[in-house]
Structure 1
């Protein structure tokens, strides 16, 4: 089924000035999760389509898009492109909140974390793909579209199974532009051949195939001097998959514990900022138009996880949340685990959106830069005072309402403290009135499910921050539609001693139970790429970052007290050290925290020399632990950080882990017991 929708004739006349979506083409319309109804919202449908855009490089709303004026234009001076989209919505013609999920490296993310099930083949179709139906039962229409180009192809599907359907953007190209591109990579085990693109991504390939002037270097740490590797000892090899990232082969092989970097001249950079403008304009179109026999939505929200949350941060920083007509494209946004916020990636020449710095790698790739805070703050190094929202107001002066949530891991590995402190880490900066900040303490970047320690030294953190996420999504909708205030911000701060230096953290952290804190966290790089996006960029003094203060159990203070920390079964940290055999033993995992359970009995605790009180001392019996979990969950419900419908799930998860710890063979050092329930 294909049909094309155009705006009203009157709107079409002014489309170049006030709207960039020229037309919408519907290519598929089918039931979603056939046979399933989602509470009062009933059955859902899936609509797959293509949006066609025309951006005016002369419009003030597009002035921040890097290299847009260098892209090819039509006879009217507009830059043309398109993107695929997928819409899930109730079949009944009723107004709903349109929730746009910024896909992560081409993949739909929100269904996996919020509904509990990632859609098979990235193509939401079946009842299983709906997970527990949370977002549908709460009446959200879900919109996904292509916004980035650097999505590596997947391996061929097994016979008889559908091919994955990532959402991949084909941006405009700045033809004739050349520049240096650097590609940093590591290996976890010795290898003769390595891929040099970023995580699950693509990169710009050399302008000259098998470039004889390309340079390969090696170093042990990010700030070490690069050691050139003779060009005669390595060569380019074909991608493993057609259309996949390039690879290099080195005589003697690549080794762990080494950062390799491949640099060469590339050409014809993509106008990556057009992908962000495409999101803006697709939302603006849906905001104002009835679509396929349904009214325009009552509300428009954005949601992004990790990379996708940073996309929203960059849109706000560049004013790309305000359309060509001067209106907000969305009334609210939820940025989940964006670290320092994402004010520097996704809109620069030769941008590689998949790359971002962590403690160990990619310190030359812009992902975050001053300003970091939603309220104005002064950068002592430059004397400039600014905020992330300086360009985000509509023509009436309105700002979208924002929720920003990080876990403990982002404080260690992604500079999360900077969104609420001065750049020197010396003073707190309270969020703007339209912003709420939350820190999910004891949680890691995603909810862990690994039953192995490798490639790290500890079992991963078991805490579940997806449940408060569900409550906050509903709260954001209530805030933007009804004006109901969401829970007060809750995050570690300097003033109350819940945010501190790494040195203090190490001094306070309990000793003698198998975890030794890292010597450093990520100190966010201060980069200067200049007007011509120099490679490598100039480095200034790093921004100062802080970490949550631990308590006597090693659990982080401040922030949102997850049930797992209110009724603890062990120590949950935001960091997990790399295993020595994978290299970089001084560094932390990019995304994972740690969990070490308390001893079960006092005798077991004394024998092990564990300073933390045992489970036996904390909870008289299983019933006492169940009561503690239920009381903690009910406190979270009152605080607006847990929905009543999720209390039983919280009990099941935590009591299941309690039972697994008690049943565990104390000699078993594996992590298998964590996920038996």
Structure 2
């Protein structure tokens, strides 16, 4: 049923002087997963609408929003903007926890990862979209909204992404820089990072724009003659800009284009919009429904870093001085995200990797939840310095990274000093988890290209389910969550890349990378840290922040942290890295997101013939029943630790036993990866 209506709480909005949500317009209201009831919470409905915001640039709560003062204002001196939202909530009277999922590059993420592999869809409506109904059965109302401007047409899965109409800093100009690479020769390429949108040149086909090339990040840039290249129209209307080069772009080269742009979006307004929408729904339920029993945030990767930046800037506290969420789960945020998302000409889709975006400011000191001193600057700070409400309260926080983030996203920095010399104990309101042997997302690729190894098969989505429930219990009942579990320097489970390479077993069929991502220390000029304005583009580089990686055991599996079922009852070696194939031109670099998996030999005879130092499956498990027993024991230990729910023991067992069977049925000479996953 489609209709437009105003929420019953509109009177509150109109009479509250500091209210930042002006009004809510509902454009669709319909049953979610029609005919399905989710345990004691019953049936759910979907409400789709538009939130209209009004921000006062003079309000203290908005002081951290870069360029808000340059955006057009209404006759009351306020900056107006809007975002679409979707709310999935139980229709009965039982209070639920409001869980806000920060969408990732236009995509709703939590359903696909947490709700039993439901399909990716930005307009969740059907029984299939509900997956196994996990979040609904556990009493969560789910709220999604648009917050960023740089989602390219066609980049989001399922229905179109939710639309964000941000304010614009009219008349403001500045330099924009983008880095890009290609995997194969091509004449025309998109120059926006991570397939997102970027700013177009202020002058069409800007004659003063510069294009450079280099082979390695630290190499000197080689200018390409301006007459040899030009800007061309996007492939799709409204899509990312492209460049055409005479002779074409080649693999093995890092390209960088720099030009003047104008009218930057006020990206920090998107974070304020999240803040204000949460504040609104916390206090104003739909049509007499009970107020939420709790409010939580959840974010995966980019989305987790959004939460980090909100707290860094105090945007987790609303205009009345209240926390807008009681707890947050930052999944695979890498170094945490205390930079990015709120600066002039920010492009939220971008982040640095070993290969690209070396000059994009996604991460910077401070990284830790407890105060730490940066030896390079002498400054002492934490990520939570501005995150307290007017009563001095902080939200309770989970940070969870996989092994891949230690290699590719600086994850060690959230629990060490910036020089990588000492551990830093998390603040009392924080827990940190490291999912060892896992990659950025649960692998599903059945081919190696463009990398050298098959992807890791670990499933960290199962402990994510347990941790979401634990966070809800911690923030509502005071129930202590699982203790932090992550690699540390003190116990030797966190080490240098050089030590990792020396320890990693030889003869496995994997050669460890020569380096991991060392988070760059970027200097954009004196105004950047305080005002978000870059005066030096590209930036100058200081000494990198020192990052560390998990220490491997004799099998090549990472020690410390949360040792998933796959590592407690192993079938092979799982790493957080996967080297790029030589034909991509960057054999020294790793995938941004993928790990590796190499199974153990099936028998001792095969192991000896291959020169594999790792005990075979035959040497580890007497038979299939013995392996099943080992998996069940590992799963029960995870349940006891609070890192696996009893309802997920069978799923964990089935997945791992299925892989065991496929490894035994596979010809070891077959170098394909299709055996990894049930067809």
Q: Which residue of 2 aligns with 1:160?
A: none
> For residue 592 of structure 1, what is the aligned residue in structure 2?
594
SS at match of 1:232: helix
Equivalent residue for 2:180, pick from 175, 178, 185: 185
1:614 corresponds in structure 2 to: 616
Deviates more, 1:117-126 or 1:28-37: 117-126
Structure 2 residue corresponding to 1:545, chosen from 547, 562, 568: 547
CA displacement 1:105-132 (0-9 Å, x = unmatched): 1110000000133545421010001111
1:83–1:151 Cα change, 3 Å: same
The answer on 1:570 being equivalent to 2:565 is: no
Query: Offset at 1:10?
Result: 5.9
2:195 equivalent in structure 1: 200
Work out which of the residue numbers 351, 359, 370 in structure 2 matches 1:375.
Answer: 370
Q: Look up the SS of the partner of 1:454 in the other structure.
A: coil
Matches for 1:633-672 after TM superposition, within 5 Å: 633-672=635-674
Does the aligned pair in 2 maintain the 1:105–1:200 contact within 8 Å?
A: no
1:150-189 Cα distance to aligned partner (Å, 9 max, x none): 00001899xxxxx722023121000000000011111000
Instruction: Note the C-alpha offset of 1:44.
Output: 0.6
Is residue 501 of structure 2 the alignment partner of residue 506 of structure 1? yes
Measured against aligned partners, the alpha-carbon deviations of 1:613-668 in whole angstroms (never above 9, x if no partner) come to 11111000000000000000000000000000000000000000000000001111
Q: Deviations over 1:164-216 (max 9, x none)?
A: 22023121000000000011111000101100011131000000111111111
How many angstroms apart in 2 are the aligned matches of 1:554 and 1:8?
59
Structure 1 residue runs of 4 or more that deviate by more than 4 Å after TM superposition: 6-11, 118-121
Q: State the secondary structure of the residue aligned to 2:6.
A: strand
CA 121–447 in structure 1, closer or farther in 2 if over 3 Å, else same: closer
SS at match of 2:7: strand
What is the match of residue 289 of structure 1? Answer: 284
C-alpha deviation, 1:13, in angstroms? 3.4
Q: 1:10 to 1:164 in 2, by over 3 A?
A: closer
User: What is the 5 A alignment of 1:428-577?
Assistant: 428-530=423-525, 531=527, 532-534=533-535, 535-577=537-579
Following the alignment from structure 1 to structure 2, what is the Cα–Cα distance between the partners of residues 165 and 647? 36
In the TM superposition, residue 8 of structure 1 has moved relative to its aligned partner by 5.7
**Which secondary structure state, in structure 2, belongs to the residue aligned with residue 4 of structure 1?**
coil
CA RMSD of aligned residues (A): 1.3
Within 5 Å, give how 1:70-149 maps onto structure 2: 70-119=70-119, 121-149=121-149
SS in 2 for 1:5: coil
Q: Please, what TM-score do these two structures have when normalized by structure 1?
A: 0.98
Distance 1:578 1:538 in 2: 28
- The question of whether the paired residues in 1 share the 8 Å contact of 2:193 and 2:349 is answered with yes
Question: Aligned pair count?
Answer: 670
The 2-side partners of 1:306 and 1:194 are apart by 26
Q: Is the 8 A contact 1:400 1:434 kept in 2?
A: yes
Query: Partner of 1:231 in structure 2?
Result: 226
Per the TM alignment, residue 672 of structure 1 is displaced from its structure 2 partner at its CA by 1.0
- Stretch moving more, 287-296 or 584-593: 287-296
Q: 2:238 aligns with which of 240, 243, 258?
A: 243
2:530 aligns with none
CA contact 1:313–1:342 (8 Å) conserved in 2: yes
CA offset digits 1:376-416 (Å, max 9, x no partner)? 11100011111000000000000000000000000000000
Separation in 2, partners of 1:646, 1:121:
24
Distance, in Å, in 2 between the alignment partners of 1:406 and 1:423 is 18
What pairs with 1:248-287 in structure 2 (closer than 5 Å)?
Answer: 248-287=243-282
1:313 aligns with 2:315: no
* Structure 2 counterpart of 1:339, from 327, 334, 357: 334
**Deviation for aligned residue 1:7:** 4.2
Give the whole-Å Cα distance in 2 for the aligned partners of 1:278 and 1:538. Answer: 33
Q: Using the alignment, how far apart are the partners of 1:206 and 1:10 within structure 2?
A: 44
**TM-score normalised to structure 2 length:** 0.97
Would the aligned equivalents of 1:601 and 1:616 in 2 still touch at CA under 8 Å?
yes
2:109·2:120 contact (CA, 8 Å) conserved in 1?
A: no
- Cα pair 1:119 1:125 within 8 Å, conserved: no
Cα deviations by residue, 1:475-500 (Å, 9 ceiling, x for unpaired): 00000000101000000000000000
User: Displacement, 1:9?
Assistant: 4.2
Q: Which residue number in structure 2 is paired with residue 172 of structure 1?
A: 167
Would the alpha carbon gap of residues 671 and 566 (structure 1) be closer, same or farther in structure 2, given more than 3 Å must change? same
Residue in structure 2 matched with residue 21 of structure 1 by the alignment: 21
| Runs of at least 5 residues in structure 1 that lack an aligned partner in the other structure | 158-162
Could you say if the C-alpha distance between residues 89 and 333 of structure 1 is closer, same or farther in structure 2, counting changes exceeding 3 Å? same
User: Residue in 2 aligned with 1:32?
Assistant: 32
Aligned equivalents of 2:220, 2:387: Cα separation in 1: 40
Tell me whether 1:45 sits opposite 2:45 in the alignment: yes
Aligned in 2, Cα 1:545/1:95: closer, same or farther, shift over 3 Å? same
Seen in structure 2, the aligned counterparts of structure 1 residues 118 and 239 have a Cα distance that, compared at 3 Å, is farther
The answer as to whether partners of 1:173 and 1:270 remain within 8 angstroms in 2 is: yes
Query: 1:455 deviation in Å?
Result: 0.4
Provide the residue aligned with 2:627 in structure 1: 625
